Amino acid sequence: MYDIAVIGGGINGCGIARDAAGRGYSVCLAEMSDLASGTSSWSTKLIHGGLRYLEHYEFRLVRESLEEREVLWAMAPHIVRPLRFVLPHHAGLRPAWLLRLGLFLYDHLGGRKLLPPTRVLNLKTDAAGAPLKDDFRKGFEYSDCWVDDARLVVLNARDAADRGADIHTRTQVVKAVREDGHWRVTLRDLRTGTERDIEARLLVNAAGPWVDKVLGNAFGQNGARNVRLVQGSHIVVPKLYDHDRSYIFQNSDGRIFFTIPYERDFTLIGTTDRDYEGDPAKVAITPEESAYLCAATGEYFKKPVAVEDIVWTYSGVRPLFDDGASKAQEATRDYVLREDGKPEDGVLVNIFGGKLTTYRRLANSVLQKIEGALGAKGPEWSGSKPLPGGDFPVLDFAGQLDALKRRYPFLDDGTALRLERQYGTFALEILGNAKTFADLGRDFGAGLSEAEVRYLMRREWAVSAEDVLWRRSKLGLRLTVEQVEALGDFMSDLMASAA
Ligand code: FAD
């Protein structure tokens, strides 16, 4: 009998599992696919207050999000990093005074201690103006943070497991019924097809865009429509400029979009907002979205971006709480928790909406409901302990990287940076006493070694080449088809021999 069973291994499910396990509850989490294979790996990857939400008067959400930036940065200074955003003033769109007012609020609403404040930019003299068209003369530069979204999920799951939670991937919750004051939950192992039951005193439905589907299929509550599914797509192109800042651009349709330096050699451009019907697992960018993002970018940069330049795209579905807004881009990004049932029967907590940025605060609110139903255990703690590999001072990333390079001089600069960013202090667990790259076993290409793959399988629930190449890392951008195949074969053989 678990205290809590969590449905869904996205950021919300894993954040709740970590918080609950750390307070002393017994926790089981089931994820039907890979961790972070849903919306949580398809985001723009910003830990941000959300400048745009100020226009919708979402002050509570913006304040909470602004505060979370430095909390998450301190918890995970390897996978989270500060990022400066350049906002050019566009003569035909929002006036300069409005941008200045928004950024003043953004700087002062709360939580900013280390991140530098907003400054005004002369785009004629600053390097940020160089790639832009000549009409852009003035801009603003402000701070937010960037995060490796999929790794944020996996590190929460790892920490939850290290604190006692049972994490099951490729495991679908197919049925949940109340029985003698608790839940009987049927789990299906999607690799073998076998089913088994577990019992839990409380259930959390953190199935993201599938939340209503789970309510229908597993709980028999058909016809629920609590979330509005809104597709957002991104394109990746070879890098558009040399400096390390991002741009936030306004578009004439009132939307904003970002261009963000990505994986050293690329620029990430996104996103879009369009209502989506259908299976969230099958969402894919449409030709119109690709064309829209290229055209919008071309409005600002001297060098146009063509659809042929795109090297990768991804698409995800936001599970937004359905607040009845008429336009997809206006639907609230805030989260709503809904409790169903009494403690003596077995409580179900459903999660609608939310952002990566606020996952820890959402988890904390869910824990308050859990305490109400099951009784309190430990105190609030999740913001004060680092995520795995993040146990170094927040401003010392460069020092950590230098130390790694000194200890393992055979690593090329790109691989050293990638390993430090992905694993922080845990990079040492992968590299051990290696003196040469060959000591790490097989070389799968682009700096991916057998030692790293074995670590990901042993410690991070990776079972397929896709898990390794697109969620634990983004090496999928660099490996050839043959290299991907060789990695897949290696992993299958290892799994078969372990079984
Ligand atoms: P998910 O990550 O989808 O997790 C739900 C999980 O439940 C899935 O992995 C699924 O496989 C699993 N599941 C479903 N049914 C079952 C079942 N029956 N049994 C077991 N498992 C099941 N937020 C930010 O803070 N910053 C951003 O920059 C940002 N940009 C975004 C851009 C886009 C285009 C999108 C789409 C979202 C963005 N977000 C951003 C929002 C953020 O990504 C989401 O709010 C967040 O990832 C939702 O997490 P989740 O855990 O609720 O859902």
- Please report the pLDDT score of residue 332 as a whole number: 81
- Per-residue pLDDT band for 330 (boundaries 50, 70, 90) equals confident
CA 321 to chain CA centroid, nearest Å: 18
- Please report the pLDDT score of residue 92 as a whole number: 79
| Tokens of residue 252, six digits | 């004439």
Phi/psi at 246 (5° precision):
-100, 165
pLDDT higher than threshold 80 for residue 361: yes
- CA–CA gap between residue 124 and residue 140 (Å, rounded): 13
Lowest-confidence segment of 198-212, 243-257, 347-361, 394-408 by average pLDDT = 243-257
Name the residue with tokens 């057998």.
450
- How many helices (DSSP H) and strands (DSSP E) are in the chain? 13, 20
Can you tell me the mean pLDDT for 198-212?
98
Report yes or no: 357 and 48 within 8 Å, Cβ to Cβ: yes
250 lines ligand 1 (CB under 6 A): no
What is the percent of the chain where pLDDT is above 90? 90
Determine the distance separating the centroid of ligand 1 and the alpha carbon of 461, expressed in angstroms: 18
Identity of the amino acid at 180: D
Atom 52 of ligand 1, residue of closest alpha carbon: 208
Closest alpha carbon to 358 in 376, 375, 383: 383
206 lines ligand 1 (CB under 6 A): yes
- DSSP assignment letter at 69: H
List the alpha helices (DSSP H) in 81-121: 96-108
- Please report the pLDDT score of residue 53 as a whole number: 86
Pick the more confident residue, 225 or 179: 179
- CA–CA gap between residue 8 and residue 32 (Å, rounded): 7
Can you tell me the mean pLDDT for 100-115?
93
Report yes or no: 424 and 78 within 8 Å, Cβ to Cβ: yes
- Please report the pLDDT score of residue 18 as a whole number: 98
pLDDT higher than threshold 90 for residue 326: no
pLDDT higher than threshold 80 for residue 134: yes
Atom 37 of ligand 1, residue of closest alpha carbon: 43
Q: How far apart are the first and last CA of the chain?
A: 27
Identity of the amino acid at 446: A
- DSSP assignment letter at 468: I
Cα–Cα separations (whole angstroms), residue 146 to 79, 128, 276, 351, 409: 8, 19, 26, 24, 28
Determine the distance separating the centroid of ligand 1 and the alpha carbon of 97, expressed in angstroms: 35
366 lines ligand 1 (CB under 6 A): no
Rg (CA), the chain: 23
Residue ranges of the chain assigned to CATH 3.30.9.10: 71-148+228-328
- CA–CA gap between residue 31 and residue 144 (Å, rounded): 30
pLDDT higher than threshold 90 for residue 138: yes
167 lines ligand 1 (CB under 6 A): no
9 lines ligand 1 (CB under 6 A): yes
- CA–CA gap between residue 89 and residue 99 (Å, rounded): 8
8 lines ligand 1 (CB under 6 A): yes
- Please report the pLDDT score of residue 71 as a whole number: 98
256 lines ligand 1 (CB under 6 A): no
Determine the distance separating the centroid of ligand 1 and the alpha carbon of 471, expressed in angstroms: 13
Residue ranges of the chain assigned to CATH 3.50.50.60: 2-39+150-226+333-374
172 lines ligand 1 (CB under 6 A): yes
Atom of ligand 1 nearest to the CA of 38: 3
Pick the more confident residue, 147 or 334: 147
- CA–CA gap between residue 104 and residue 142 (Å, rounded): 10
297 lines ligand 1 (CB under 6 A): no
The answer to whether the peptide bond before residue 271 is cis (omega within 30 degrees of 0) is yes
Give just the sign of the alpha carbon dihedral 427, 428, 429, 430: positive
Cα–Cα separations (whole angstroms), residue 402 to 63, 399, 408, 437, 492: 35, 5, 10, 18, 35
Report the topology of domain 71-148+228-328.
Answer: D-Amino Acid Oxidase; Chain A, domain 2 (3.30.9)
What is the percent of the chain where pLDDT is above 70? 100
Determine the distance separating the centroid of ligand 1 and the alpha carbon of 350, expressed in angstroms: 14
390 lines ligand 1 (CB under 6 A): no
Can you tell me the mean pLDDT for 467-482?
98
Bridge partners (DSSP) listed for residue 250: 256
- Per-residue pLDDT band for 334 (boundaries 50, 70, 90) equals confident
Cα–Cα separations (whole angstroms), residue 473 to 18, 259, 493: 22, 20, 21
- CA–CA gap between residue 417 and residue 234 (Å, rounded): 24
- Per-residue pLDDT band for 297 (boundaries 50, 70, 90) equals very high
Atom 38 of ligand 1, residue of closest alpha carbon: 43
Per-residue model confidence as pLDDT tens digits over 109-119:
988 999 999 99
Cα–Cα separations (whole angstroms), residue 114 to 72, 111, 194: 13, 9, 51
Report yes or no: 81 and 400 within 8 Å, Cβ to Cβ: no
- CA–CA gap between residue 330 and residue 55 (Å, rounded): 10
**CATH no. of 2-39+150-226+333-374:** 3.50.50.60
- Written as one string, the DSSP assignment of 155-206 is HHHHHHHHTT-EEESSEEEEEEEEETTEEEEEEEETTT--EEEEEEEEEEE-
Determine the distance separating the centroid of ligand 1 and the alpha carbon of 40, expressed in angstroms: 4
Atom of ligand 1 nearest to the CA of 232: 34
Atom 26 of ligand 1, residue of closest alpha carbon: 46
What's the pTM?
A: 0.98
Residues 6+ away with beta carbon under 8 Å from 115 = 69, 70, 82, 143, 144, 145
Atom of ligand 1 nearest to the CA of 45: 28
CA 265 to chain CA centroid, nearest Å: 21
| Tokens of residue 374, six digits | 């099951």
Identity of the amino acid at 154: V
- Please report the pLDDT score of residue 327 as a whole number: 77
Atom of ligand 1 nearest to the CA of 37: 9
Can you tell me the mean pLDDT for 386-408?
98
Looking at domain 397-498, its CATH architecture is Orthogonal Bundle (1.10)
- CA–CA gap between residue 437 and residue 26 (Å, rounded): 41
- Please report the pLDDT score of residue 224 as a whole number: 81
